[in-house]
Structure 1
Amino acid sequence: MVCSIPGNLPFILKPTLKNFYTLVTESPLDRESRAEYNITITVTDMGTPRLKTEHNITVLVSDVNDNAPAFTQTSYTLSVRENNSPALHIGSVRATDRDEGANAQVTYSLLPPLDAHVPLASLVSINPDNGHLLALRSLDYEALRAFEFRVGAADRGSPALSSQALVRVLVADDNDNAPFVLYPLQNASATCTELVPRAAEAGYLVTKVVAVDGDSGQNSWLSYQLLKATEPGLFGVWAHNGEVRTARLLSERDAAKHKLLVLVKDNGEPPLSASVTLHVLLVDGFSQPYLPAPEAAAADAAPAAPLTVYLVVALASVSSLFLFLVLVFVAVRLCRRGGAASVGRCSVPEGPFPGHLVDVSGTGTLSQSYQYEVCLTGDHETGEFKFLKTVFPKLLVQNIEKLKESPNCRNNFVRIFSYT
């Protein structure tokens, strides 16, 4: 008797005892490739004619956890518009496992971020059962335009197998920023005035409005428009670059001061805008001094700050105190020398010395002619200074002559400085 099976199966019949056979595997089985085999066993006798019989058996291949979960994509790119509502579904990831039962049950989790500075735990979360990703808070394109993280998928086999995929989230810009004017500054304490010569030709560049927008794409495209002017038709604004130019020749009949209101608008939907005020002054030439605005003139005419007044008073006080101390020092020195010999005395003749400054030129101003006289007295060998006096020769000529004729100071009277 002979037993046989088809030859295209990974099994063989192995004889053990007479007329006993064992079905064994000839090569490893893969349940994920083929989980069930229907085998027909044919038994043939050795008689003439030969007779045979057939018997069918079914072999089921049991599962082992030999397959890790596999994501449908190696990386995912998701997009979410900024200013989204919290708990918004932004996308999903999916992984499958070729095993069965618990070996094929997949759970999802967030893995540590690639960039440690990204606060992933406060940005997104994932549903462990279905892989749905729900943004946890409102996102701001200007603060965070994109971020990446990894998602893990693990089965429930023993031991568990896992895999991971990269997820990149792009934050789409929303038109939530109005244009910001860089020049001219609108919060400055003093207004900026542009000077334009009256001889300027048509198309003369007066100034340029510079603005930026924190958004991106068409939301940051800016256009400029002249809304209001003191004299319409005299100035124009180029829509795409913000240049302010003269629209025609200037004349003497045009007002000297002009005020322009320029609108800066982005291309978002809906558009956002900002306005800027320009001050223009027409002058006959750039050599003409700048005329301050009335506000600036009023500020210049305002009284000095209290601190300035205090400094002036303090300086005057210190100067007066210094002069007083010098006079006291001189007086004390003179008193100490009072007991010296009369030979060393310097007699000062009485005369009409002025007690205050007077006009000596007759023109209403003080004369600039001064002479300083020094009387050297005391011991001729030591040459000590005993008396120092400043006089005005044009008024005190007769007194000086008398002082020079004094017997004690005649030889010690020296002129040391003259300024005219």
Structure 2
Amino acid sequence: TIRVQVSDVNDNAPAFSQPSYTLLVGENNSPALHIGSVSATDADAGSNAQLTYSLLPGPEPRPPQPPLASLVSINADNGQLFALRSLDFEALRAFEFFVRAQDRGSPALSGQARVRVQVLDRNDNAPFVLYPLQNASAACSELVPRAAEAGYLVSKVVAVDGDAGQNAWLSFQLLKATEPGLFSVWAHNGEVRTARPLSERDAPKHRLLVLVRDNGEPPLSASVTLHVLLVDGFSQPFLPLPDAAAGAAPDDRLTVYLVVALACVSSLFLFSVLAFVAVRLCRRAGPAAGGGYPYPGLPDGPFPGQLLDASGAGTLSHSYQYEVCMSGDPSTGEFKFLKPLYPNLFLQSSDSQSKETPNNTNNFLSRTNTYIE
């Protein structure tokens, strides 16, 4: 009789019972809570079939997600998973990771399975009122004309809930009113409307207390106060509440100061612009008014600008001198000259011209100077 015993070789990798697992854990759980288990098997025998479990990070870890080692842990021998911290649904709704099962063969073989932990929401957030604001220094008042009919929209209460699902479903209820039966609140959208037509007998000021409640178990709630003013028309000035009138005075004074300061700055700027324009116009009009010199015996008004030397040296142009010389009587052989209003200017012009003209021209200018003197 021959007995043949086959020795095992580590030729089988561990395999999980399912490729992925989904584990559910309630929000605000206690630390070290058992949330689930994973299991794998190995077809080998002996040490080749003994498995060790470990955690691996997920394929795409998100930056806001805490480190995996601070969230869950796994029992290396049996694959049980004890959340390490209390989980908050509003901060972390779900996270994923991998579990690896590795045998003790040589060489060691391993297998992986994906695990998704989903946090279940619990009703731990009360409704939060967005409008009307309850932390303002002055209470918000809604204006309603006395001519409003039944169903007139007075205001709308806006609230949110940080929970999810039915825990975030909100309902609205009118708890208290100055005059019951005058206003109503729609349960599903928070709209405040008139329940009947208004009359002159109704009080001008009303205070409404609205309750906002979610649909959780147990339900959580919040309350909000509305102030309603009845007016004859929207042209009627707003009448502040007595407790808000004192706090509004400093704001009114500040507004007046700002308006006065703005008016002063605007007036100063306008005056500066007008002064600048006036100075520029005066400077342009000055040279144009003094461009010519009046002479007796000639028509009133300044001489044309082309009769003056543009260099500003005080000399007359050559064309002007020739015109004066030809204005005499040719039959007498003498020249007649007009005596200028400023003789020094004309003499200076003659002297300057004598330096540049030929000899016969110098003799002519000498006779001219003698005649003028």
User: TM-score if structure 2 supplies the norm length?
Assistant: 0.66
The answer to whether residue 169 in structure 2 is matched with residue 224 in structure 1 is no
By percentage of residues, which structure has more strand? 1
> 1:57 Cα shift?
4.2
SS in 2 for 1:159: coil
Q: Does 1:106 align with 2:51?
A: yes
Task: Measure, in 1, the Cα distance between the counterparts of 2:171 and 2:249.
Answer: 41
Partner of 2:194: 246
Q: Which residue of 1 aligns with 2:332?
A: none
1:136 matched to 2:84? The reply is yes
Alpha-carbon separation, structure 2, partners of 1:281 and 1:93: 65
> Deviations 1:181-203 (Å, cap 9, x if unpaired)?
11111111221111111111101
3-state DSSP class of the match of 2:81?
strand
SS in 2 for 1:296: helix
Q: 1:1-400 alignment to 2 at 5 Å?
A: 57-116=2-61, 117=63, 118=65, 119-301=67-249
Shift of 1:286: 0.9
Larger helix proportion, structure 1 or 2?
Answer: 2
Alignment correspondent of 1:408: none
Instruction: Give the letter for the 1:269 counterpart.
Output: E
Aligned residue in 1 for 2:326: none
- Superposition deviation, residue 180 in structure 1: 0.6
Q: Corresponding residue for 1:5?
A: none
Instruction: State the Cα distance separating 1:279 from its structure 2 match.
Output: 0.6
Provide the residue aligned with 2:359 in structure 1.
none
CA contact (8 A) 2:43 2:49 kept: yes
Report runs of 4+ in structure 1 exceeding 4 Å deviation.
301-305
Q: Are the counterparts in 1 of residues 32 and 83 from structure 2 also a CA contact under 8 Å?
A: yes
SS at match of 1:171: strand
1:286 aligns to what SS in structure 2? Answer: coil
Deviation at 1:302, TM superposition (A): 5.9
Task: Report the secondary structure of 1:60's partner residue.
Answer: coil
Secondary structure at the counterpart of residue 88 of structure 2:
coil
Q: Give the counterpart letter for 1:91 in structure 2.
A: G
**Could you say what the CA RMSD is over the residues aligned between the two structures, in angstroms?**
2.1
Asked whether the equivalents of residues 149 and 198 of structure 2 are also in contact (C-alpha less than 8 Å), the reply is yes
Question: Which residue identity is paired with 2:219?
Answer: P
Name 1:415's counterpart in structure 2.
none
> d(CA) in 1 for partners of 2:87 and 2:72?
10
Deviates more, 1:162-171 or 1:59-68: 59-68
Q: Which structure is higher in RCO with an 8 Å CA cutoff and minimum separation 6?
A: 2
Q: Name whichever of 263-272 and 114-123 sits farther off.
A: 114-123
Which amino acid is 1:142 matched to? E
Structure 1: how far apart are the matches of 2:249 and 2:22?
66
Deviation at 1:261, TM superposition (A): 0.3
Report the AA paired with residue 34 of structure 2: H
Residues paired across the two proteins, number: 256
- How far apart, in 2, do the equivalents of 1:112 and 1:58 lie? 49
- Structure 1 window deviating more from structure 2 (108-117 vs 128-137): it is 108-117
Secondary structure of 2:35's aligned partner: strand
- Taking structure 1 as the reference length, what is the TM-score of the superposition? 0.58
- What is the distance in 2 between the residues matched to 1:188 and 1:302? 16
Counterpart AA for 2:81: L
Letter in 2 for 1:277: T
Unmatched runs of 5 consecutive residues or more in structure 1: 1-55, 316-420
Letter paired with 1:282: L
Instruction: Report if aligned partners of 2:138, 2:247 keep a CA contact under 8 Å in 1.
Output: no
- Equivalent residue for 2:270? none
Identity, % of aligned pairs?
79
User: What is the alpha-carbon distance in structure 2 between the residues aligned to residue 259 and residue 121 of structure 1?
Assistant: 54
Residues 293-318 of structure 1 show CA distances to partners (whole Å, capped at 9, x for unaligned) of: 1122222446979xx8xxx9xx9xxx
What is the deviation of 1:243? 0.6
Task: Tell me the distance in 1 between the aligned counterparts of 2:72 and 2:153.
Answer: 52
Q: What letter matches 1:101 in structure 2?
A: G
Q: Which residue of 1 aligns with 2:366?
A: none
